[in-house]
Amino acid sequence: MPKSTNYPKILFIMSKKVGIITGGGDCPGLNTVIDSVVKGLDKECEILGFYKSFEGVLNKDYTILTRSNTNPYKFQGGTILKSVNNGHFPGKVGTNLVSQIKPEILEKTIHNYHELGLDGLIVLGGDGSLSVANEFSQHGLKIIGVPKSIDNDLLGTEFTFGFWTAVEIATESLDRLETTAYSHDRVMILEVMGRNAGWIGLYSGLAGGANVILLPEIGFKLENILKFLEKRLKPNALIVVSEGAKLEGRGQIHKSSGGKSSESLLGGVGDEIASFLNKSGFDARCTRLGHVQRGGTPNSMDRILSRQYGSFAAELFLKGKFGSMVGYENGEFVEKNLSQCVTSLKQVDASSQIVELAKKMGVYFGG
């Protein structure tokens, strides 16, 4: 006798609804985190992916995320949810907190959050985006932050995802520049990202055998670099400089963006150094690595970190640990207080062990 197929229908209803946004500059590993969050929550939650950061919540511009539409892109660079680092939600300018979200924008975004029935919002972002997230948290929204930055400049975590890929790209660039430096007896200068924190410059400079490392945290003089190079008695050298490194007496260097606005952008300090050295008898060239550092697929370290960041963020959501940020300390992922993590930036300590190690190996920091 054939078995009856007239079973009662069981309707599965997702008990919770969660949103995900990505804000600020793009970064290797964003899609890996998104995919890991989805895989950690899709059995219990409906997951809304909002486009272009908080703008997506403001405009109700979203898509439903499932593992079938995130898994194919889990190791792709950039973000499938797109991103902005301007618009209606400015977070920080430099190291200073700003509150410029217009009241009507704030109110509409909060209204949409509740109207959509969200039980929480997972924010993948850097210092600026997480500062905005913290502001919404203060207004009662249930927020979980995931620290994203190639600059590695966020408090509450030892390493942000995206950082190691940027370091690897910069290190490979130094390896390539070194052969040209030797072949042509030149000083080759690599300008890397790092507005207020020089972690990329420090780690890549140490890994790539740079002779001079210049960071935003340690002011430098052009004359001191010249004296150092002259004492080496070698015409070839490698210099890595963070874009935010400060010339004593002049501060950071800015140049015209050449874009739609007349806004000036940080960068050009490497060209200033090259120009000075060329006038002083050296043959110097500068390469600005620019956005190459933040594009493309994450390396193995960032893939592992991103998977863990996303999984732990999903766990925090299920436990109701809102107003928190995922942190990484001593090889473990931990819950951190979001508001405490956006009070200031994590910068390189000039007296730290790794800086002292570099000095013992003969690296000069320009001070």
| pLDDT tens figures, 86-141 | 789 876 655 555 557 899 999 999 999 999 999 999 999 999 999 999 999 999 99
Amino acid 98: pLDDT: 56
Please, where in the chain does CATH 3.40.50.460 lie? 165-293
Structure token digits, residue 11: 């309707």
Question: Which residue in 80, 87, 85 sits closest to 102, CA to CA?
Answer: 87
Amino acid 96: pLDDT: 57
Q: Tell which phi-psi region holds residue 222, choosing left (phi > 0), alpha (psi between -120 and 50) or beta.
A: alpha
H/E stretch holding 264 reads: strand 264-266
Please, where in the chain does CATH 3.40.50.450 lie? 16-162+296-341
From first to last of its 367 residues, the chain has per-residue pLDDT tens of: 344 444 444 444 558 999 999 999 999 999 999 999 999 999 999 999 999 999 999 999 999 999 999 999 999 999 999 998 778 987 665 555 555 789 999 999 999 999 999 999 999 999 999 999 999 999 999 999 999 999 999 999 999 999 999 999 999 999 999 999 999 999 999 999 999 999 999 999 999 999 999 999 999 999 999 999 999 889 999 999 999 999 988 889 887 666 555 556 888 999 999 999 999 999 999 999 999 999 999 999 999 999 999 999 999 999 999 999 999 999 999 999 999 999 999 999 999 999 999 999 999 999 8
Beta strands in 90-171 (DSSP E): 92-93, 96-97, 120-125, 143-147
Phi and psi for 141 in degrees, rounded to 5?
Answer: -75, 145
Degrees (nearest 5) of the Cα angle 347, 194, 224? 85
165-293: which CATH topology?
Rossmann fold (3.40.50)
Q: Which of 151, 153, 175, 349 is catalytic?
A: 151
Q: Say which residues have a Cβ less than 8 Å from residue 84's Cβ, sequence separation at least 6.
A: 23, 52, 53, 55
Residue type, 193: M
Amino acid 90: pLDDT: 79
Beta strands in the chain (DSSP E): 16-22, 45-50, 62-65, 92-93, 96-97, 120-125, 143-147, 187-192, 212-214, 237-242, 254-256, 264-266, 284-288, 324-329, 332-337
Amino acid 1: pLDDT: 39
Which of the 8 DSSP states describes residue 158?
Answer: S
16-162+296-341 — its CATH code? 3.40.50.450
| 151 included as an active-site residue | yes
Residue type, 112: N
